[in-house]
Amino acid sequence: MKLIDKFKAVLKKKKKKKLEKKLKKQTKHFKLSKYLAKAGFSVNSKLLSRGLFKFALGVNVLITIYLLVFFASKQGYTLFYLIFVLLLLWTFVFVVFLGLIWLAFYLFLDLRIFKRKLSMEEVLPDFLFLTATNIRSGMTVDKALWFAVRPRFGVLAKEIETVAKEVMSGVELTDSLQSFADKYESDILKRSINLLIEGIKSGGEIGDLLNRIASNIQESRLMRKEMAANVTTYVIFITFAAVVAAPVLLALAGQLISIIGDIVGKVDVPTTGNMMFAITNISVSLADFKIFSYTSLVITSFFSSIIVATIKKGTIKEGIKYVPLFIGISILFFIIASKFLGSLMGGLFL
């Protein structure tokens, strides 16, 4: 009997573990599905997960084929070394690569959600004004919201259509509006919807309330624009320092390294003498300095674009669109300045 009880206990534990694993998988897929819905994608999360896994697997297979061809064409590599490299590829490298794919995908979704939120906030005052007009003409709140939808409202129009469909299927208007507000991390949207819900529950004049909400949103937007205009000087200074000054100074330093190296190479310096210091060749090569310059320009441009976006817009995510622009212009300035200073200073010291 004791053995049977132990066996049953082990089976129960195994079942519990299986159920826990299933629940974890379901919660993961549920979270991913919600995230995809926020980004505007109607894709099966399970199929997406499999697709990303297969993509990482395919890339690893291609790398494996390349390595096998490479090791077959080259001599001097032992079988043990080949097995070690392949094991490293299919364990550590594969896991890291798969993690990077998921990270890049979530960053893409996050930026898309952010853009959708901005597009909704942009047209929200116009939508509220139209809804207020419809309510004043005698419509109920749900119909006023439905008839205020316009194609130019984009994402907001689709979300309001979803709210209207839920209300038609029997869901309470306040519950549907609350779920819509909770879907996006927008303070403006949440405040507006919460005030609308409070107005519906209290039975107040909804038309006047919506007009006030829309006016407040427009006023706060104007205030943000004025604040951004007040800090334009800082934005210009940071942009100039990152995009123009840093590339020119690095190009000048590169030319000085090249010229000093040429001069030291041509001058015969005695090994012994009464000199206070020894003249030696520069230890940093021009190629290494160029690598350092490109790396520092990319890092400086990246952080400068983020700082500029934070000053102007108040959020780091707005700076993502400036990153390629800042990096491209700074590298272009570095190349142009290097060629110009090379021809100018080369002619002077020849």
Residue 277 lies in a domain: no
Same domain assignment for residues 179 and 123: yes
Q: Per the domain annotation, does 147 fall within a domain?
A: yes
- One domain, residues 241 and 334: yes
Question: Do 189 and 135 fall into the same domain?
Answer: yes
pLDDT (0 to 100) of residue 54: 92
Task: Give the residue numbers spanning the domain of 149.
Answer: 116-226
What number is the average pLDDT over the span 236-246?
Answer: 92
Residues 251 and 337 placed together within one structural domain of the fold: yes
Predicted local confidence at residue 200, as pLDDT? 87
- Select from 68, 96, 114 the last residue of a domain: 114
Residues 244 and 328 in one domain: yes
CA distance 277 to 334: 33
303 in the same domain as 202: no
Nearest to 248 by CA among 140, 149, 335: 335
Residues 6+ apart with CB under 8 A from 345: 255, 259
3-state secondary structure 139-201: CCHHHHHHHCCCHHHCHHHHHHHHHHHHHHCCCCHHHHHHHHHHHCCCHHHHHHHHHHHHHHH
Q: What angle do CA 337, 340, 343 make, to 5 degrees?
A: 145
CA–CA gap between residue 184 and residue 214 (Å, rounded)? 19
Tell me, yes or no, whether 93 and 126 share the same domain.
no
Residues 241 and 318 in one domain: yes
Query: Using CA atoms, how far apart are residues 174 and 142, in angstroms rounded to an integer?
Result: 10
- Residue 1 scores a pLDDT above 70: no
What is the spatial distance between Cα 169 and Cα 163, in angstroms, rounded to a whole number? 10
Asked whether the predicted pLDDT for residue 42 surpasses 60, the reply is yes
Q: What is the pTM of this model?
A: 0.72
Q: Is 314 left (phi over 0), alpha (psi -120 to 50) or beta?
A: left
DSSP single-letter state for residue 318: G
Q: Could you tell me if residue 10 is inside a domain?
A: no
Buried b (16+ CB within 10 A) or exposed e, 168-198: eeeeebbebbeebbebbebebbbebbeebbe
Say how many domains are in the chain.
Answer: 3
Q: Would residue 3 count as lying in a domain? A: no
Instruction: Give the pLDDT score at 302.
Output: 92
- With a pLDDT cut of 90, the percent of the chain lying above it is 25
Same domain, 343 and 238: yes
Tokens linked to 168: 């038609």
Structural domain contains residue 47:
yes
Q: What is the separation of C-alpha 198 from the centre of its chain, rounded to a whole number of angstroms?
A: 35
**Whole-number pLDDT of residue 277:** 53
183: tokens are 């879907």
In the three-class reduction of DSSP (H, G, I as helix; E, B as strand; rest coil), residue 138 is classed as coil
The domain boundary residue, chosen from 87, 114, 141: 114
**Pair (210, 306) in one structural domain:** no
The answer to whether position 294 is within a domain reads: yes
Tell me what pLDDT residue 299 has.
94
Same domain as 261, residue 183: no
pLDDT at 77: 74
- Residue carrying structure tokens 């060749």: 281
Location of structure tokens 């898309």: 112
Per-residue pLDDT tens digits for 277-307: 555 556 677 788 899 999 999 999 999 988 8
Q: Tell me if 143 is assigned to some domain.
A: yes
pLDDT in tens, 124-171: 999 999 999 999 888 888 889 888 988 899 889 988 988 888 888 888
Residue 333 in domain: yes
